[in-house]
Structure 1
């Protein structure tokens, strides 16, 4: 009596097997045809084609390696700066400037005057170094621009996480560079714009996807990473000038208020993007753009964790005088907690779902917590 049932399921599985075989044969057919054609050619034709294929395989191996290995990635990178050991705010004089008397009673040359470097500038320059020197800048790599059979990598589930993360970090660098030029690196209304910071801001605004050549011009171009490296050098030059007391860092409370306000607006925009994706495109593991949104936001929080920690050192006197130190410390803890979320596969499930996780909503929650604290600190400082 069971024989008809068994035969039915055998036919079903046999049909499924044939279907899978046809799909695999369809996928492999171009490769098999090309291989047979290649075998029938002479070495005069085989040689150049073989070398070209080896180069292509090498390029893709390098590309895959660069997109999957994150050199220097460390959520606790802030600890290496020992910011808690700093005794003075950025720009404050540390020593020198006064003449001394020698043992013979003669007046000696005054010691060179030194000032405190800006931790914000140091962290910003190091984030650029992390993005374009310790790692390849993915967004302007040729194979990233080519995509997967013409489809942008950002629209696939593969090879784009690191690029999105780097762009998130880069967003924090750009925002900080603007604030350094407009407010932090000058006495507002009484001093000119610092030339080093101005060049750094201009270079950081360069587009993120330029390679050596492009479709809009036959002439060679300067690729994106070179502009960012130049910006990094200018930031380090500014800090060297600041250390020699030849530059200005204006650590007033109104500058800190404006800085916090700009950062709050920046991550608020990211929160809106995440909300839109989470609410209207919640396809769980099948949402191929969810990983872009998640890792961009992650990169943004990664960058601001370092920059805001540095701001806590550069504006230490203001923070303590206005009584927001506990709130500042709590904000840094929340930023660090957000960096613990590192899922292998990003899922954009429904918030009331029970099968697929909702990583985007979780990241959005952390962003809103951080933003809420930034707004509260800004309001306290503004009173």
Structure 2
């Protein structure tokens, strides 16, 4: 594996938002109206998604977390303004608290029509919203070795970001029910360890040859080498309610990539965690978030969530300190642990009057760039 320069670890963040009716708080299929409005301000940095009640932003390539924050503030603000001019609101949560998938309209693009035809009921129920972090890595071999080593920590990222407790007007009991909806897809989940990029490429070729996928973009793992960009894409997290939490997820993902790259460059052995244990760790993070024990994959023990977050931060601290990001990221992580992730805060909003409309209002307020710290 050749050396990957520090400058290559750029960040790009994609966020999927809900388009909400201002009066009913239901999802509304208005992307065809709102998207052109938003594009007048931000161009191609706003895109359609599977359903017309969804809209996605993607930041430019960023070098620093300050740039990530500024771009998220700008893009959220412009999309919110475009929606408000149409009489609608924007909400950042992994699921809508009560709108039904049966009422959504498919985006009439060939890619989405093909997905709907291929996956049928899975696609019809795919009314979920995520956050994807692209970390720039031009060395294709390095990206595979980083992916191998990142796997044991993905559940911690999920627990911190979990933001989808409600589904079809019910409390699911999960912190991230989005994860459970996504889990059913054949190309979703945590990848196994690859010996080389050549092995990964052979797998993609086999999947295409057997007509299992059309191309590499149809692999939806929790972390994957991007088929379109020279990046490693972290896909495990729910969309975050606040800009602070989105910056936290982006900073943690990049620090994890840098840490894993340093381990690979030093020849450190990969921790070959059993797939069953990784699935259990991810399920527990989706189920409980930060509210109960999580699984420490390295020690194969259940430990308090706050303890595992501290271990994760300690693991990343050298990379964060080297790039002067430790103070910001550790402070944001501790705020989420103390205040609760998005799922806990949604439940707290619901308990005040037991109205799901109030939860939507709460999410809308948190989504605004000026909503303040966690």
- TM-score normalized with structure 1 length: 0.27
Q: Rg: which structure is higher?
A: 1
Higher strand share: 2
- TM-score normalized with structure 2 length: 0.28
